[in-house]
Amino acid sequence: MQLKNVAQAKLPTPWGEFTIVGFEELATGKDHVAMVFGDITKQQSVLTRVHSECLTGDALFSLRCDCGFQLEAALKHIAQAGSGILLYHRQEGRNIGLLNKIRAYALQDTGLDTVQANHQLGFAADERDFTICADMLTLLDVKVIRLLTNNPEKIRVLEQAGIKITERVPLEVGENPNNEHYLQTKAEKMGHLLHLHAINNDYD
């Protein structure tokens, strides 16, 4: 176990009242949070979103990616379902950090794609560690989930960490002209399961 459970409180949102649970990494002191809605103990398989931090998309309305749209859609979806969990996984920029993500954006402005930009900066395409998310679920006493994602890597790592995933629930929102190339690269180079209508129509 890499985490400890530190504190929890009510967190009202436009879609209903969640409970926010705060965790701390034992080794580094880094914090992560879970947003829990409804009675998750009664569910055989808990609707769950693993959302990696994206300050620009989640808080600053960026259209370069789909993160802000996915965050809002996931919280709405969980509230509508009556119960579920959003894990807010604080590994910004696929864990290269905010400032390196801005460096990667600058390289993308010169024509590199998101994978090439990470490589140019000396990072792997994706530096995230989803075992932290499995640990949050374990501390919430959740072992079986339905996962809101288009990313097969999240499924692979969570299952390897002992979480049973009964279903993948797609989360395709926020496609726009600014993120078409970004989403296309995720589909082509990172194995994301996406149906990019605008892109297929334009370039196929």
Ligand X SMILES: Nc1nc2c(ncn2[C@@H]2O[C@H](COP(=O)(O)OP(=O)(O)OP(=O)(O)O)[C@@H](O)[C@H]2O)c(=O)[nH]1
User: Does position 146 bind ligand X by CB under 6 A?
Assistant: no
Q: Does 65 bind ligand X (CB under 6 A)?
A: yes
User: Minimum CB separation from ligand X for residue 92, in Å?
Assistant: 5
Rule CB under 5 A: is residue 96 a binding residue for Zn ion? no
Residue whose CB is less far from ligand X, 10 or 28? 28
Q: Which does 52 bind (CB under 5 to 8 A by kind): Zn ion, ligand X, none?
A: ligand X
Judged on CB neighbours under 10 Å (0-12, 13-18, 19+), 203 is exposed
93 binds, among Zn ion, ligand X, none (CB under 5 to 8 A by kind): ligand X
Catalytic residue, from 94, 126, 135, 146: name it: 126
Q: How far is CA 12 from CA 16, 45, 54, 86, 191, in A?
A: 6, 24, 21, 14, 35
Catalogue the E-assigned strands of 44-138.
Answer: 46-52, 84-89
**Whole-angstrom distance, CA of residue 97 vs CA of residue 154:** 19
Structural tokens at position 113: 């794609």
CA R_g for the chain: 17
Minimum distance between the CB of residue 42 and ligand X, rounded to whole angstroms?
25
Based on the shown chain and the rule CB under 5 A, indicate whether residue 171 belongs to the binding site for Zn ion.
no
**Residue 65 binds to Zn ion (criterion: CB under 5 A):** yes
Query: Is 126 noted as a catalytic residue in this protein?
Result: yes
Q: Which is nearer to ligand X, 12 or 65 (CB)?
A: 65
Which residues between 67 and 126 bind ligand X (CB under 6 A)? 67, 70, 92-94, 96, 101, 104, 114, 118
Q: What are phi and psi of 88, to 5 degrees?
A: -95, 100
Amino acid at 20: I
Q: How far apart are CA 68 and CA 182, in angstroms?
A: 14
38 binds, among Zn ion, ligand X, none (CB under 5 to 8 A by kind): none
Report the C-alpha gap between 118 and 129 in whole angstroms.
Answer: 16
CB of 126 vs ligand X, minimal distance in Å: 7
Catalytic (active-site) positions: 126, 128
Chain positions contacting ligand X, by CB under 6 A: 51-54, 65, 67, 70, 92-94, 96, 101, 104, 114, 118, 149-151, 154, 192
